[in-house]
Amino acid sequence: MPESPYLVLDPEQVRANYRALADAVSAPRSRDTRIRYAVKAAPVDELLTLLDTEGAEFDVASIGEIDQCLRLGIDAGALCYGNPIKKSAHIARAFALGVRRYAFDTEDDLARIAEHAPGTEVECRFLSAAPESRTPFGTKFGCAPREATRLLVRARDLGLTVAGPYFHVGSQQLDPTAWRIGIEQAGQIVSTLADKGIRVPAVNVGGGLPISYAEDAPSLGEIAAAMTDAAARFLPENTALVVEPGRALVGNAGTIHAEVVGVRFAPDGRRWVYLDIGRYNGMAETENEYIAYRFVTDRDGDPVGEAVVAGPTCDGDDVLYQRTRVLLPTTLRAGDRIQILHTGAYTASYSSVSFNGFPPLTVHVSGAERE
């Protein structure tokens, strides 16, 4: 048995998720829909290779992710440098490596792309009026829709090819109407650009597709229906949709195997359960307790009680849940095994290098092993 903690990924579940999403978003056969995997969710070689064979495109956030994809034999034409925050040197290197599609949300970044990646396709990210998601971006990314229209006209004038507007409804978005709102706003941009002689081939509706953790999430079918219905209402029929899932493809394909390090009762009487995994070696998405993972133990079936769940480091912020009501067996003891379900997304990729000397989360892929 590998040393705890470790993540086990099931590639066949990823394949099934990809095909289910492809079927759902392709229901209206008159509209082209492309799936672009957000590599940052789980940048695991075996999963990238699998998704490439399935026909996916790839949203890459850095030169490191570009290099990884190219090392695996993925064609540069399948990559979009989707991070609006990037250095001139990185744009130039990506261009030299064959990347021909970029996202931006400021005039400065647009100018850098025009200078260092001339003639390429660009998507302008705007801040949609979508409801807040479980792990929101706030206003870190995206310009106003009116500004997006102006910047895409500017892109045309700089000799770049306009791919279209781009929005993201926030990670783990539980309200399907978020995509209707974003697509309606994108449709207004598309219409204004058409009046200026610019045909928009695609609208990028971003990621944010949710999965069920402790709380249920809308199904892929519900999300896809919201997208396709909105596209039928607000976009020309020949405008393609680009969907950028990360969590929806890999989240339920992973399980973290961990161990109870200790149990104590604090002076206030609350029971604390300490695990060998915490915020810094895989559980970063428990920040603000946004994501409520489900736990499975070998003592399930015993009486349960509320517990504060914490990680192993000496950092006071390394607490997973103290406001969320977590029920765990009262018989849990040090050395007991515990599984954390649906942890395929944003766990290993968030894991620190060596905080407090704890190693990064080890990843095992069914049928293969990697560190």
**pLDDT tens-digit profile of 116-127?**
999 999 999 999
User: Do 225 and 82 share a structural domain?
Assistant: yes
Which residue is associated with the tokens 């390394």? Answer: 318
Do 44 and 186 reside in the same domain of the chain? yes
Residue 163 pLDDT exceeds 60: yes
Query: Using an 8 Å Cβ cutoff, are 162 and 152 in contact?
Result: yes
Residues 152 and 282 in one domain: no
Is 241 in the same domain as 260?
A: no
> Are 185 and 284 members of one domain?
no
Q: Annotated catalytic sites, by residue?
A: 314
Specify the DSSP element, H or E, that contains 7: strand 6-9
Instruction: Work out the pLDDT band at 369, boundaries 50, 70, 90.
Output: very low
Residues 237 and 261 in one domain: no
How wide is the angle at C-alpha 86 spanned by C-alphas 187 and 111, nearest 5°?
65
- When pLDDT is averaged across residues 215-236 and rounded to a whole number, the result is 93
259 and 218 co-located in one domain: no
What is the DSSP secondary structure assignment for residue 302, as one 8-state letter?
B
Alpha-carbon span 123 to 232, nearest angstrom: 21
Q: What pLDDT does 307 receive?
A: 98
**Which domain, by its residues, includes 190?**
31-245
- In contact, 214 and 295? CB cutoff 8 Å: no
Tell which of 245, 274, 294 closes a domain: 245
Q: Say whether 182 sits in a helix, a strand or coil.
A: helix
- Tens digit of each residue's pLDDT (9 = 90 or more) over 303-324: 999 999 999 999 999 999 999 9
Q: Tell me, yes or no, whether 215 and 121 share the same domain.
A: yes
Is 12 part of any domain? no
Beta-sheet pairing, 337-340 with 295-297: antiparallel
Residue 18 lies in a domain: no
Q: What is the pLDDT of residue 368?
A: 63
Nearest to 301 by CA among 331, 269, 344, 262: 331
| CATH number for the domain that contains residue 112 | 3.20.20.10
Residue 252 and residue 344 in contact, taking contact as beta carbons nearer than 8 Å: yes
pLDDT for 131 equals 87
H or E element in which residue 309 lies: strand 308-310
Instruction: With CA atoms as reference, report the closest residue to 290 among 213, 348, 205.
Output: 213
Give CA 133 to chain center in angstroms. Answer: 13
Owner of token pair 């709102």: 181
Residue 21 lies in a domain: no
Burial class (CB in 10 A: 0-12, 13-18, 19+), 142: buried
Residue 164 lies in a domain: yes
| Same domain? 179 vs 274 | no
Q: Which of 355, 256, 245, 343 is nearest to 291 (CA)?
A: 343
Together in a domain, 349 and 284: yes
pLDDT band at 371 (very low <50, low <70, confident <90, very high): very low
Domain end residue (candidates: 220, 245, 270): 245
Q: Which two tokens stand for residue 118?
A: 């001339």
> Would 143 be classed as within a structural domain?
yes
**In terms of domains, do 223 and 258 share one?**
no
List beta partners, residue 240. 202
CATH of the domain at 336: 2.40.37.10
As for how many domains the chain has, the answer is 2
